[in-house]
Each structure stands twice: as structure tokens, then as C-alpha cells.
Structure 1
Amino acid sequence: MTRNMRASSDPWFAQFLLNVGDGTEPSIGNDFIRMPDEMIIPYTTEEESIDELIETVFPSLNENGHRIDYVASRAILSTKNEYINRLNEHMIETYPGEELIYHSIDTAEDHAHGNYPSEFLNSLTPNGLPPHILKLKKECPIILLRNLDPANGLCSSTRLVCRNFQRNVIDAEIATGGHAGKRIFIPKIPLSPPDDDLFPFRFKRKQFPV
């Protein structure tokens, strides 16, 4: 259950969020807030804890993953691409059906030599960019990373569900907002990290922006 849905149905959780926002929740050393045990998934092993996290946020994923309302009301947030990529790979394995793999084309531009090996460029996972190896299945949810066509609902952070695949486009259905239910096509496009100073060259990745 997402924060917004739980806040509307759970008075205790709603009050906790209000206390945090108002600065009245007791803190530790004036910098940290202890999360209540009811909001924590205990750590056992990495694999078991990830399974428990996915099952908590996406209960009965196999049976419900194709439903627009189910996809639109749930999300797992993370601080780094490497963490969320690991979660995404774990989740995609639980979906039934054939897995499709799309590889990006990575280049180093604006550099005197530009002779960085492709293996090195492929290993980079800057924030805001899709992975070099993108694994998808029919009915799996995706989130758009760029504004492609705001007038038609294709904005950054728009949630969609994959319906079909072609070599250079993803056939998807918008899951949220005023354009929910609309079928659209997502192309591969050139993408660069939002932080231009991240590397000593301009990194460009051509991949689906999801």
C-alpha cells in the first residue's frame, strides 16, 4: 500500500506523517527519527528481505500485475539506481511470460580521445538513466524517465503497463492521470545524465526512457 492510500485509511499512520512534517515527532540527536516497528520489514537475509518487501508492497503480484489500478497505486522508492535495478530484476522474474532484453548503445562524447571501452560505458548507471540491460515482460509496470509528449500524458514519472514489444518501440498503456487507458508507443532515445559534471566526458545512452 502506498503512503497516500494508507494515510487516507490509517489514522495512526496519517498522524505519524503529520508529526514528522510538523517537526513534533520525537527525534534522536535532533537529526534522526526512529521508524515505528509497524513500518519496518525486519532484515533476515538479502534475498528473503527483498522477497518480503515486494510481497508487502505488491501482494499477489502474479495475479494482479496486469491490473491498471493495482500498478498505479504501488511503488518502491530507493536512493540509488543500483538498488532499484536490483529490485526491478527480482520483480521481473516473478512475472509470467517471456522476458525481453533490450541493450543500450553507450558513447563518450566531447572527449579528446573518446576511446573508453564499451564494457566500461555499459557498466555505468547514472541517476536518471535507464540501465544498459533493460529486462521487460508483457503486463509489467514501467515509469517514464523523460517528458516525451506532455500534452498527451507522456511526462516524466508517468506510470504505464507494457502491452507489447517491437524491436525499437514499446507498446504501453498509460496507468495514471487524465490519459489513463491510452495506448502509446515509447521509442529509444538518446539520454544523458542530468549532472554534466559527473564524468570527464559527455555520456550518452540510447535506450528506452523507462
Structure 2
Amino acid sequence: MGMDIIEIPHEMIFNGSMIKATFVNSISIDNIKNISKRAILCPKNEHVQKLNEEIFDILDGDFHTYLSDDSIDSTDDAEKENFPIEFLNSITPSGMLCHKLKLKS
């Protein structure tokens, strides 16, 4: 194999639900103390977003959506055109929140 490829042994590959395996069907607002002791680590923010959406679907209650600012702080119109709003809303750099933040109440 090439130097950039790592072969993962078959017995280490998990094909089930990470959410069920991690939280053992105990995801609820009432059980928040136990839930906060567990975590699923993901290599990319887009994977985190997908898991968060699945967990939101499991939880009862209403949620609120908060949006980030989506503009460029510049007086140069040409610079503003280089960064369309759709692009600003789609990027998920490490260390920054996503454009759309959903919180359950």
C-alpha cells in the first residue's frame, strides 16, 4: 500500500449506529448529566453536523435556530463580491461555529 493509506483491520470497523452505541438509547433532556459524560469524536465539522441533526431528531421539545452574521466587513465592493453570502454560510472552519446553530429548549 502507498504511504498515505492506512489499512484498518476488519474487526475494528463499526457499521452500526454510533449514536445508539454511545448513548445506549438514553438520549433525553432528563438524562443530560449522563449524556454529558460521553462523546463522539469526528474528523470533520460536516460529520458533527450530521450526528447533531440525528440527535436533534431523537430529542423531544422545540428548538430555536440562530444564524451567524453573513457579511464581509469591508468598504471594497470587489472584495465583498469575492465572498458570496452562500459561500460564507457554507464554510465550517475548525474552531468556528456553523452559520446555523440549533438549540433545543
Note whether the superposition's TM-score is higher than 0.5: yes
TM range (shorter): 0.7 to 0.9
CA positional deviation for 1:35: 4.1
Partner of residue 51, structure 2:
87
Q: Distance in 1 between matches of 2:21 and 2:55?
A: 13
Amino acid at match of 2:104: K
- Is contact 1:123-1:132 (8 Å) kept? yes
Distance 1:111 1:32 in 2: 48
Matched, 1:128 2:95: yes
Q: How does 1:107-118 map to 2 (within 5 A)?
A: 107-109=71-73, 112-113=76-77, 114-115=80-81, 116-118=83-85
Provide the rounded CA distance (Å) in 2 between the counterparts of 1:65 and 1:58. Answer: 13
Residue type of the partner of 2:73?
E
- C-alpha contact (below 8 Å) 2:28/2:59 kept by paired residues: no
Unmatched 5+ stretches in structure 2:
none
Q: What is the SS of the residue equivalent to 2:57?
A: helix
- The 8 Å contact of residues 27 and 35 in structure 2, kept in 1 or not, is answered as no
Instruction: Tell me if the contact between 1:65 and 1:71 (Cα under 8 Å) persists in the aligned partners.
Output: no
2:18 to 49, 53, 75: 53
Instruction: Give ranges in structure 1 of 5+ residues lacking alignment.
Output: 1-27, 43-48, 139-210
1: CA distance, partners of 2:102 / 2:51: 12
Q: Secondary structure at 1:105's aligned position in 2?
A: coil
Contact 1:62/1:96 (8 A) holds in 2: no
Report how many aligned residue pairs link the two structures: 101
Q: Equivalent of 1:41, from 5, 10, 14?
A: 14
Report the AA paired with residue 62 of structure 2: E
**What is the TM-score when the length of structure 1 is the normalising length?**
0.41
Aligned residue for 1:119?
A: 86
1:96-151 deviation line (CA, Å, top 9, x unaligned):
1112111111222357322333233112222221111111113xxxxxxxxxxxxx
2:27 alignment counterpart: 62
% identity of equivalent residues: 33
Length-normalised TM-score, structure 2: 0.74
Equivalent-residue separation in structure 2 for 1:65 and 1:59 (angstroms): 15
1:62 shift after superposition: 3.2
Q: What RMSD, in angstroms, separates the aligned Cα atoms of the two structures?
A: 2.7
1:34-82 deviation digits (Å, cap 9, x = unpaired): 3462x4322xxxxxx5xx11100111233476331x1232111111111
Q: How does 1:1-210 map to 2 (within 5 A)?
A: 32=6, 34-35=8-9, 37=11, 39-42=12-15, 49=16, 52-63=17-28, 66-68=31-33, 70-109=34-73, 112-113=76-77, 114-115=80-81, 116-138=83-105
